[in-house]
Amino acid sequence: MAAEEGVVIACHTKEEFKNQMTKAKDAGKLVIIDFTASWCGPCRIIAPVFAELAKKFTDAFFLKVDVDELKEVASEYEIQAMPTFLFIKNGEKIHTHREARLRHCCFRLRLRQ
C-alpha cells in the first residue's frame, strides 16, 4: 500500500506498518499514528478530525493502527490508552499525545520542524 497525500492509511499487518514507517523515514517525513480500537468511543469521535488533518498536512504520513489487531505494534510503542497519537520523525518518537486537542498539537509540532 503506497502512502497517498491527504489520506489516513490503515495498517492491518505488522508488515504494512513497517513498510509505511520505512517509506516515511526514507522520505524524511513526519509520521502521525492514531492508535485506536473499534470499541473506543473517543476514537470514533476523533477519527474525522484525524482524517481532516491528513488532508491539511499532506507532507506527513497519517497511519491508523487498531491496538487489538496489531497488539505487537501497540506493545512496542507502549500504548496504554486510546486514542493515543504518536509523532515520529526519522524513526524517532518526538511526541505522544493522548488528548482530544489534536489539531493544536499538529500545528505546534509543524512549527517546530
Cβ 60 vs Cβ 107: under 8 Å: no
Q: What is the mean pLDDT of residues 6-24?
A: 96
Reported as type and span, the H/E element at residue 51 is helix 41-56
pLDDT at 23 over 60: yes
Q: What's the confidence (pLDDT) of residue 2?
A: 43
pLDDT digits (tens, 9 = 90+) for 54-101: 999 999 999 999 999 999 999 999 999 999 999 999 999 998 877 656
Instruction: Give the CATH number of domain 8-112; options: 3.30.420.40, 3.40.30.10, 3.40.640.10, 3.30.750.210.
Output: 3.40.30.10
Q: Choosing from 11, 43, 105, 106, which is the catalytic residue?
A: 43
Note if 40 is an active site residue.
yes
In the predicted structure, residue 14 carries a pLDDT above the cut 60: yes
**pLDDT exceeds 50 at position 106:** yes
Task: Say which residues have a Cβ less than 8 Å from residue 81's Cβ, sequence separation at least 6.
Answer: 98
**Sign, Cα dihedral of 19, 69, 6, 113:** negative
Task: Name, in order, each residue with C-beta under 8 angstroms of 49's C-beta and a sequence gap of 6 or more.
Answer: 102, 103
CB proximity list for 104: less than 8 A, separation 6 or greater: none
Is residue 1 scored above 70 in pLDDT?
A: no
State yes or no: pLDDT of 109 exceeds 50.
yes
Would you say the C-alpha torsion 18, 2, 36, 53 has a positive or negative sign? positive
Catalytic entry in 11, 40, 105, 106: 40
